[in-house]
């Protein structure tokens, strides 16, 4: 019988409620896997919420300052370009200034899309921006061709790298040829008869996979049967059940066995003692499903730890106090940079200030 009102998720972590000494080995494994999944889910949710909060703060508090530094750097490139032809600048000074203008313009074009600086860049660069981009693309294509040849044994034309359909077709053709060749070699050797032990092992594995799939499907079917909104006459209850079914379907489609168990406990009262009374054979499949989910959550955690968003978390994450300190420090650094760029832009109207600046470019 379905409940009318769901309990809170915190009260409904699936567990086999017995004294530890009374638990079987499988029951202990079940409880441990459930606790591990619950912990991983909480950590992942907290990490996602923290990342979303940091992204919002970066856009609101830091992005405007970053944009201001970019605009000032664009103005500096344009100002230095105007100053370049001043008669007071010597040849060596112009060479160093040209290299600085080229480097800063290229950085602004590539990193921030400031295409209006292409003409200035090309004025000082040994090759035009278009030529530099073409050279980089050709080098990347050459590396890609070498990779396809090395890893897949496929010759890809440079032009094909711009056409994903052609590239996929060539890879598919190569894979088909390899499969056909492997099939011919296998056929030439004649069929290898499997031992009785191998056949029994394969049958056992096949049966186990079917039972594992059935365990998840069984819970899903029970929930849908009991909670399907089409059977509900009351409009309020119908709306509530529609939302519940969405949760059930999402959990099933995402292979979230933990959530299916939690939803079973939440909405099916007559299943309150299912786990305690479950036969060991069935519990074995539950443990296998939970173990797979632990691995999937660990992989998701690793993606958040080492993936593209990890840098943001490590740069600005931490305790609330640490987050505030990091944002204050970053905002101060950006404001200081804005102030310095403003002073440089103002000073660069004076050729003598430009000459002093050129002398400071010791890295050139």
- What pLDDT was estimated at residue 209? 56
Q: Please give the pLDDT value at position 8.
A: 41
Hey, is 206 helix, strand or coil?
helix
H-helix segments, 125-195? 129-152, 164-189
Q: What is the pLDDT of residue 275?
A: 72
pTM of the shown model: 0.65
| Region 222-244 average pLDDT | 80
**Would you say residue 86 has pLDDT above 70?**
yes
Phi, psi dihedral angles at 348 (to 5 degrees) = -70, -5
Does the pLDDT at position 340 exceed 90?
Answer: yes
Q: What are the pLDDT digits (tens) for 254-269?
A: 888 888 887 777 676 5
pLDDT on residue 190: 58
Q: Tell which residue, 255, 293, 245, has the closest CA to residue 44.
A: 293
- Taking the CA atoms of residue 339, residue 341, residue 345 and residue 351 in that order, the dihedral angle to the nearest 10 degrees is 110
Q: Which residues pair with 2 in a beta bridge?
A: 268
Rounded to 5 degrees, φ, ψ at 164 are -60, -35
pLDDT value at 103 more than 70: yes
Q: Which pLDDT score, from 0 to 100, does residue 7 have?
A: 42
**How distant, in Å, are the alpha carbons of 58, 111, 130, 277 from that of 73?**
21, 13, 22, 71
User: Does the structure show a pLDDT above 60 at 280?
Assistant: yes
10 vs 323: CA distance, rounded Å: 28
Considering only residues 198 and 215, tell me which one the structure prediction assigns the higher pLDDT: 215
Residue 35: CB atoms within 10 A of its CB come to: 12
Q: C-alpha angle with apex 100: 97 to 105, nearest 5 degrees?
A: 125
Burial of 197 (0-12, 13-18, 19+ CB in 10 A): exposed
Average pLDDT over residues 94-102: 95
Closest CA relative to residue 64, chosen from 352, 363, 335, 343: 335
For residues 231 and 235, give the distance between their C-alpha atoms in angstroms, rounded to a whole number: 11
Distance CA 292, CA 258 (A): 11
Asked whether 92 and 98 are in contact (CB, 8 A), the reply is no
Rounded to whole angstroms, how far apart are CA atoms 189 and 183?
10
240-269: b (≥16 Cβ within 10 Å) or e? bbeebbebbeebbeeebbbbbbbbbbbbbe
Contact 14, 283 (CB under 8 A): no
Question: What token pair was written down for 151?
Answer: 């890893």
Is the model's pLDDT at 194 over the cut of 90? no
Question: Is the separation of the CB atoms in 88 and 351 below 8 Å?
Answer: yes
**pLDDT at residue number 101:** 96
Average of per-residue pLDDT values in the chain: 82
pLDDT score recorded for residue 9: 41
| Range among 85-94, 144-153, 255-264 with highest mean pLDDT value | 85-94
Q: Is the pLDDT of residue 211 over 70?
A: no
The number of angstroms, rounded, from the C-alpha of 357 to the middle of its chain's C-alpha atoms is 43
């Amino acid at each position: 019988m379905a409940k009318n009102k769901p309990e809170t998720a915190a009260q409904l972590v699936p567990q086999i409620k017995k004294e530890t000494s009374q638990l079987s080995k499988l029951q202990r494994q079940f409880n441990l896997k459930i606790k591990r999944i619950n912990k991983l889910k909480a950590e992942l949710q907290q990490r996602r919420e923290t990342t979303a909060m940091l992204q919002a703060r970066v856009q609101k508090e830091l992005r405007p300052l970053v944009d201001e530094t970019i605009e000032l750097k664009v103005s500096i490139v344009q100002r230095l370009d105007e100053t370049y032809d001043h008669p007071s600048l010597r040849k060596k000074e112009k060479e160093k200034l040209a290299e600085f203008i080229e480097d800063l313009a290229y950085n602004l074009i590539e990193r921030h899309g400031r295409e209006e600086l292409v003409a200035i860049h090309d004025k000082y660069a040994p090759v035009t921006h278009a030529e530099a981009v073409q050279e980089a693309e050709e080098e990347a294509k050459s590396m890609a061709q070498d990779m396809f040849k090395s890893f897949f044994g496929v010759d890809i034309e440079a032009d094909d790298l711009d056409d994903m359909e052609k590239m996929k077709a060539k890879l598919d053709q190569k894979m088909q040829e390899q499969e056909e060749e492997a099939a011919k070699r296998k056929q030439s050797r004649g069929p290898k008869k499997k031992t009785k032990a191998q056949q029994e092992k394969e049958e056992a594995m096949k049966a186990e996979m079917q039972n594992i799939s059935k365990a998840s499907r069984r819970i899903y079917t029970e929930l849908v049967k009991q909670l399907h909104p089409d059977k509900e006459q009351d409009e309020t209850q119908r709306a509530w059940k529609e939302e519940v079914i969405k949760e059930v379907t999402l959990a099933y489609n995402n292979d979230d066995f933990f959530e299916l168990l939690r939803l079973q406990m939440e909405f099916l009262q007559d299943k309150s003692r299912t786990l305690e009374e479950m036969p060991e054979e069935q519990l074995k499949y539950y443990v296998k499903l939970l173990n797979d989910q632990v691995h999937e959550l660990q992989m998701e955690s690793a993606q958040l730890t080492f993936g593209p968003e990890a840098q943001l978390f490590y740069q600005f994450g931490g305790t609330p106090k640490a987050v505030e300190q990091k944002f204050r420090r970053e905002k101060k650094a950006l404001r200081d940079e804005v102030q310095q760029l403003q002073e440089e832009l103002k000073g660069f109207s004076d050729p003598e200030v430009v000459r002093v600046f050129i002398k400071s470019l010791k890295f050139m």
